[in-house]
Amino acid sequence: MENEQPAAQDGLHGTFLRLMSELTGTPADPDKTFIENGGHSLIAIKLASALQEQGIGIEISSLISADSLIDAMKESVKLDSHTEPLEDRSD
């Protein structure tokens, strides 16, 4: 059995979903909340730490309270540039 994310999921999304899947032991569904994906406080800490090692910062409270993993990913920032979201903003 393979535990892979779709090929279209690359970059931040791929890293985020891969780490979430590794920590919970099940495929991560980006449309479900962190809790619905099997997350809990210890996994939130481990995920935030693993993301930080990849140069991605996220507040644990944002991770837990987001309406979906996609929304949580939108709250992520590059650690070397705290003001710039990782998601493209074409406003």
Kindly report the pTM of this predicted structure: 0.74
Answer yes or no: are the C-beta atoms of 85 and 77 closer than 8 Å: yes
CA–CA separation, 28 and 26 (whole Å): 6
Closest CA to 9 of 48, 1, 44, 20: 20
Q: Residue 11: pLDDT band by 50, 70, 90 thresholds?
A: confident
> Of all residues in the chain, what percent carry a pLDDT higher than 70?
76
pLDDT in tens, 14-53: 999 999 999 999 999 999 999 999 999 999 999 999 999 9
Q: Specify the residue for token string 């980006």.
A: 30
Average pLDDT over residues 49-69: 93
Q: Give, as one character, the DSSP assignment of residue 25.
A: T
Residue 19 · residue 44 · CB < 8 Å: no
